Amino acid sequence: MTRLTRTRTRNLSSLQDEIDRVFDRFFPSRDQDQESSSPQAVWRPRMDLIETDEAYRLHLDMPGMSRDELTISYQDNELVISGERTSAQTDEDEEFVRVERSFGQFRRAFTLPRMVNAEDISATYDNGVLTVTVPKAEAVKPRQIEIQ
């Protein structure tokens, strides 16, 4: 007798997609609809978002890019990181056998809470990782209340 059982296989790509959806649900992006319909947005750098009592910190993987190829702007509670990674060129006697890296323009937009200190947003770029620090406003930082 043959027994039919249902199994569910998952690969890392589908798990990463689920994690991205969770991030997008809690930190919505105004350009999600534009990304899917725009022929220019051909890749999205992977991102980690960290929250501390003092700030939000975003880490974006952008290997092979220079800081001159990146643009960061903040307006109306929206932090936008964009740029373009150009494709590698081969010599005349070479040809690509397989290409797995993504190239082209990208744009990531994040709607931030209103209670951030926009004047002190800072960014660093080291070894292909862009780190953007968005400090929280004093009004939202946790504080200890003394009992009298």
Which range of 3-17, 60-74, 133-147 scores highest in mean pLDDT? It is 60-74
- Is 23 inside a domain boundary? no
Q: Residue 83 sits in a domain of what CATH number?
A: 2.60.40.790
Phi and psi at 34, nearest 5°, equal: -65, -40
C-alpha 135/C-alpha 132 separation (Å) is 10
- Is 96 inside a domain boundary? no
Element (H, E) at 12: helix 12-26
Q: C-alpha 55: how far from its chain's center?
A: 16
Q: What is the pLDDT of residue 11?
A: 64
Lowest mean pLDDT among 34-38, 49-53, 61-65, 109-113: 34-38
- Is 97 inside a domain boundary? no
Q: What is the pLDDT of residue 44?
A: 87
Structure tokens at 135: 């400090």
Q: Which domain does 131 fall in, by range?
A: 30-87+102-140
- Is 119 inside a domain boundary? yes
- Is 7 inside a domain boundary? no
Residue 60 has pLDDT above 60, yes or no: yes
Per DSSP, the three-state class of 131 is strand
Residue 36 has pLDDT above 50, yes or no: no
C-alpha 63/C-alpha 61 separation (Å) is 6
- Is 68 inside a domain boundary? yes
- Is 9 inside a domain boundary? no
C-alpha 91/C-alpha 68 separation (Å) is 25
Tokens 């709607």, residue located: 111
